[in-house]
Each structure stands twice: as structure tokens, then as C-alpha cells.
Structure 1
Amino acid sequence: MSQKTEGIAKRQAILARAQYEDMLCFFDYKHLPEGLQAISKPFNKLAHSLVEQLPDHSQKMVALQKLLEAKDAAVRIAVAKTKPQRERIQNLIIENHRNGLSASEIHAKVQEAFPNSKITEEVIKEFALTLEAEV
């Protein structure tokens, strides 16, 4: 294949893909916490694969929409699964904040009680500020 023909084929592929770019952005996952990335990443790969492999057809967008619904449901399940632990961490922060502990002291207690927690001292500080604003 000549370079000119290859160039034309690449431009056509880019143009064909362009109509799906808005939909594909909903499959991004790198902004999510690590655990949710693992849930979302396979959907991202499948969405991109469908756009690349399937011919243009009205059902192609339908397939992407249904895949997006499935991805959203899977992420919601993963978020719901962590709710009890998030509530226990929240209660621990509230209790220790009421006892006058600093954010760094509270962070140490959270890490001790929940070693796998990814919560940062900065998040605890922000949460403490919301608690103080409620008073």
C-alpha cells in the first residue's frame, strides 16, 4: 500500500471514530479511585474495541449506550459495597474530632483501624471543617 493510500485510510478511520468520541469519554476511568478503576477499565477497553471493530451502523451507538449503562451499574455496586466501611471511618473521624484530636492524629487512628484505607490527612481536614461549619 502506498503512503498516500495509508494516509487516506488513517484519515478515514479518524473521521469514522470522531462521531463516537463524545460517548467514549464516558468510559474514562483514570480519574477514579484505584478500586473503581479496576471495575471500569474493562468497559473502557471494550468500548474502544467496539468502535474500532464494528462497521458504522445505528446500532453501534445503541451498543455503546447499553455498555455505558452496564459500566455505571457495576461501578455503583462497587461503591455500595464500600459504604459500610466508609460510614465506620466517618464515625471514627467524627468521634475523634469531637475529642479534640488533630487531623494528623485522626489520620493515624484511621490508618490503624483501617490499614487499607486510602483516606488522606487533607480529606480529614476538609471533613473536620464541614463538621465545624455545622455547629
Structure 2
Amino acid sequence: MAKKAPEGIADRQAQLARAPYEDMLSFFDYKHLPEGLQGISMPFNKLANSLVEQLPHHPQKMVALQKLLEAKDAAVRIAVAKTRIRRKEIQNLILECHGNGDNAEQILEKVQGEFPSSRITLEILKDFLETVKAEAEA
């Protein structure tokens, strides 16, 4: 009859096998990112962890993780660039509406109409308009 391994040994062996990859896996963390970028980064995190768990120790395992990290970084950069473009488009709309004499409530309504996914609030909009006004007076 085979001896049953004491509890915890299998867990400890798994931790030891995973240890060489912990630094690399930390680059796949995503919870610190803004919500929109978390959705881009999370699948890469899951895949990286899955590769570490499922593949045997081999030099190519780290290469696979490095390539996956490059792909994740590129995907996040695309999302960030898109966000910057969208932010500039929203700012231009606000400035145009402000120049036309619209008040903050009217501007917010137009922004929400053209950019429904925008999370801009009336408070943020008013702060932005105050900054614009202060810069114009300077």
C-alpha cells in the first residue's frame, strides 16, 4: 500500500516549481490599472498563470512568458492611445460648446450623447470649464 503524502507537500512543491516565474508574473498584474485597461490586461494574466501551472520547467517557458508580456504591453498601449484620442475629442466638443455659449448642463448632455461610454460628471466638467476660464484670463 502506497503512503499518502502529508498534506501541504503538494502545495509546497507547486510553490517551488512556480518560484522562478514569480517576478515575471508580477508584470501581468492588472488590478492597479483603470477599469478599461483591466479588461485588456486580465486575459494575459490568466494565460500567463495558466502557462506557469501547466507547462513543465524549460528555458522556453520563460521565453513564452516574455513574448506574452510583449503582446500584453502592446495591447495596453493601443487602448491607452485610443483613450487619449477619445479624451481629446471630448475636450474639443466641450470647448466648441462652451464657445457657443452652452452652459455646463447643456455641454454634459451633448458629451453624453456623442460619447455614451464617457464617465465625465457635471463636477468634472465644471472644473474643466473653470480651468479654461482661468487660462483665458491669464
Following superposition, the deviation at residue 40 of structure 1 comes to 1.7
Q: Aligned runs of 1:1-135 on 2, under 5 Å?
A: 2=4, 4=6, 6-95=7-96, 101=103, 106-121=107-122, 123-124=124-125, 127=128, 131=132, 135=138
Give unmatched runs, 5+ long, in structure 1: none
AA matched with 2:4: S
Following superposition, the deviation at residue 3 of structure 1 comes to 5.1
Residues 54 and 124 (structure 1 numbering): CA distance in 2 closer, same or farther, change over 3 Å? farther
Whose Rg is larger?
2
* TM-score with structure 2 setting the length: 0.70
Residues 3 and 131 (structure 1 numbering): CA distance in 2 closer, same or farther, change over 3 Å? farther
Identity, % of aligned pairs?
68
Number of residue pairs matched by the alignment = 133
Following superposition, the deviation at residue 49 of structure 1 comes to 0.6
Cα distance between partner residues in 2 of 1:60 and 1:130: 51
* TM-score with structure 1 setting the length: 0.71
Following superposition, the deviation at residue 2 of structure 1 comes to 2.5
Following superposition, the deviation at residue 69 of structure 1 comes to 0.4
Please report the RMSD computed on the Cα atoms of aligned residues, expressed in angstroms.
Answer: 3.1
